[in-house]
Structure 1
Amino acid sequence: MSKQKPTILVVNDDGITAPGIKALIETMQQIGRVVVVAPDSPQSGMGHAITIGKPLRLDPVDLYEGVEMYKCSGTPVDCVKLAVNRIFSGKKPDLCVSGINHGLNNSINVLYSGTMSAAVEGCIESIPSIGFSLDDYTLQANFKPSLPFVKQIAEQVLAHGLPAGTLLNVNFPNRNDLKGIKICRQAHGKWAEEFDERMDPHKRPYYWLTGEFQLNDQGEDTDVWALDHGYVSVVPVQYDMTAHHAISVLNGWKF
């Protein structure tokens, strides 16, 4: 008796027509039965936002043969919530994969990322989850070098599972000669933001967010180091944001 193929939920934040999700769908089809729920428009930088002040739309679409697909009017996290509650109706998928994002989600970017937040929501639902991102923001991004690693990592997660409350943040450098996989920690860094002020035709100011990434970490065990040296970075991430090391400090205060 042949083993039933795993069911894989595919989500993203760049929208259902993005080239990155097409590459991820085609790779996951080699592994299992694919169900796609993705935003109907780009939702980059949405983080873990959810829609609570207006209704959500969930409509079937037919973009790729043999793939059950839905477009959602909400955020990436909305997509996962609707998938679990309405499409799978309690019978959860075996794997949730998000991406492949156009642009990196390494270091502090994990907090802002809609790609990673969708994967985090999958993890909250006790679904083994992975977020994939490539260091190329363009629509012409070449995902081909990363796809063997996408497949390998997904297969390993399906075979071994992940520790409770843990998901994977996987990032690919933009190069053809990937050296392999490095298990890393998240680099310490932040964005030094600036807001470019301009004037509209009515002489009212408006602002464009700009800035540059500042790395405050020279460690050779980080995702930034791995990517800079041609490796695929894999960082285990958790949604428990408790600063456990600070509990003993706070217990020493006089409340």
Structure 2
Amino acid sequence: MAKKKPLILVTNDDGITAPGIRTLIKVMNEIGDVCVVAPDSPQSGMGHAITINDTLYCDTVKVHEDEPQKEYSCSGTPVDCVKLAVNEILKRKPDLCVSGINHGSNSSINVIYSGTMSAAVEAGTLGIPAIGFSLLDYSLEANFEPTKKYVKQLAEQCLENGLPKGTVLNVNFPKLPKSKIKGMKICRQANAHWEENFDKRVNPLGREYYWLTGEFINGDKGEDTDEWALANGYVSVVPVQFDLTAHHAIKFLNTWEL
């Protein structure tokens, strides 16, 4: 009897027609049966937002007629897409959820803002092994070809071995040709941050408005971080947990007079 193919849920935050997700779909089609549920428009920076004060629409689409996967375009956030897929669209729980491939970095502190990673985290909370993929290139002409080998390898390893409970993977690719990528490194998240500014302007009607700007500051000199790996030609692989408890702080808080 032929072995049953794994069911793979594919989503993202750049929208269902983005080049990154189309690359991810092609690779996943080599591994299993694919269902795509992705936003109908860009949802970058949405984090773990969900739609609660508006209606949600989820329509069957076919972006490329020659591809076998089922595809659904959702009016909501990346997390909405995962919730709808698992609760309404799929007949069984997926064996794997992959999110991305994002246009731009989701390394270090960026993970908490990322819709790409929040979709993976949502899948993880539902007991589904999940990986978020990002490429350090914001261009719509970004070259995703060098990522394919590593995407496939990680997805296959995840399907074969699973992930530790409460964990998903945050994977970032350097903007390099295939020949320049040195391999993959298991890393920790760098202790870095954004120093933010708001560019204040006035519209033609005299109303003030703001554009968020900022500079990424990495003061972490460790050679075991995602930022170090990416700067030195490696694919960074960071295990991310969604239990936000600061366990190290419990002992300190117990000294308070409460």
Q: TM-score, normalised by structure 1?
A: 0.99
Find the aligned partners of 2:141 and 2:232 in 1 and give their Cα distance.
23
Q: Establish whether residue 178 from structure 1 lines up as the match of residue 165 from structure 2.
A: no
Cα-to-partner distance string for 1:201-220 (whole Å, 9 max, x where unaligned): 10111100000101121000
Unaligned runs of 5+ in 2: none
Find the aligned partners of 2:218 and 2:137 in 1 and give their Cα distance.
19
Shift, 1:67, TM fit: 1.1
Match of residue 49 from structure 1: 49
Unaligned runs of 5+ in 1: none
Match of residue 78 from structure 1: 80
Match of 1:66 among 61, 65, 68: 68
Cα-to-partner distance string for 1:196-236 (whole Å, 9 max, x where unaligned): 01110101111000001011210000000000000000000
Find the aligned partners of 2:119 and 2:200 in 1 and give their Cα distance.
32
Shift, 1:184, TM fit: 0.1
Match of residue 2 from structure 1: 2
Give the match's secondary structure for 2:197.
strand
Cα-to-partner distance string for 1:113-161 (whole Å, 9 max, x where unaligned): 0000000000001000000000000110000111100000000000000
Give the match's secondary structure for 1:203.
coil
Amino acid in the other structure paired with 2:38: A
Find the aligned partners of 1:213 and 1:62 in 2 and give their Cα distance.
38
Give the match's secondary structure for 1:27.
helix
Find the aligned partners of 1:3 and 1:195 in 2 and give their Cα distance.
55
Q: Establish whether residue 20 from structure 1 lines up as the match of residue 52 from structure 2.
A: no
Shift, 1:63, TM fit: 1.3
Match of residue 124 from structure 1: 125
Taking every aligned residue pair, what percent have the same amino acid on both sides? 67
Give the match's secondary structure for 2:168.
strand
Match of 1:230 among 230, 233, 245: 233
RMSD: 0.6
Give the match's secondary structure for 1:47.
coil
User: Map of 1:84-233 to 2, 5 A cutoff?
Assistant: 84-89=86-91, 91-176=92-177, 177-233=180-236
Match of residue 34 from structure 2: 34
Cα-to-partner distance string for 1:20-68 (whole Å, 9 max, x where unaligned): 0000000000000110000000000000000000110000001132110
Cα-to-partner distance string for 1:168-188 (whole Å, 9 max, x where unaligned): 000000001110000000000
Amino acid in the other structure paired with 2:82: V
Give the match's secondary structure for 1:201.
coil
Match of residue 242 from structure 2: 239
